[in-house]
Amino acid sequence: MRTTPSLRAGRLGFGAALLLLLVLCPFLLPVYWTLILTEILIMALFAMSFNLLLGYTGLLSFGQAGMFGAGAYAAALAILKGGLSLWLALAAGVLTAALVALVIGYLCVRRDEIYFAMITLGFGMMLYTVAHNWIELTGGSDGLPLAAVPPLTFFAWEVSLFDPRWMYLFVLGVTLLGTLVLWRVVRSPFGLLLTAIRENRDRLAFVGASVRNIRLAAFVISGALSGLAGALFCLFNNMATPDFMHWGFSAKPVLMTILGGAGVFLGPAFGAAVFFALEQATIQITENWMIILGAVLIPVVIFFPRGILGTILHRLNAGRGKSRE
Residues in the site for other proteins, rule: CB under 8 A? 1-3, 184-185, 187-193, 195-196, 199-200, 202-211, 214, 217, 221
CB of 188 to other proteins, least distance (A): 5
What is the separation of C-alpha 162 from the centre of its chain, rounded to a whole number of angstroms?
24
Of residues 149 and 218, the one with the C-beta less far from other proteins: 218
CA gap 97, 112 in Å, rounded = 22
Residue 231 near residue 45 (C-beta atoms within 8 A): no
User: Which residue spans within 73-227 are E strands per DSSP?
Assistant: 144-145, 152-154, 157-159
CA gap 91, 98 in Å, rounded = 11
CB of 206 to other proteins, least distance (A): 5
Of residues 113 and 142, the one with the C-beta less far from other proteins: 113
Helix (H) or strand (E) holding 259: helix 247-260
Residue 135 near residue 129 (C-beta atoms within 8 A): no
User: Which residue spans within the chain are E strands per DSSP?
Assistant: 144-145, 152-154, 157-159, 239-240
Of residues 161 and 193, the one with the C-beta less far from other proteins: 193
Helix (H) or strand (E) holding 240: strand 239-240
CB of 113 to other proteins, least distance (A): 17
Of residues 37 and 60, the one with the C-beta less far from other proteins: 60
Q: Is residue 309 classed as helix, strand or coil in its secondary structure?
A: helix
CB of 3 to other proteins, least distance (A): 7
Of residues 167 and 197, the one with the C-beta less far from other proteins: 197
CB of 106 to other proteins, least distance (A): 17
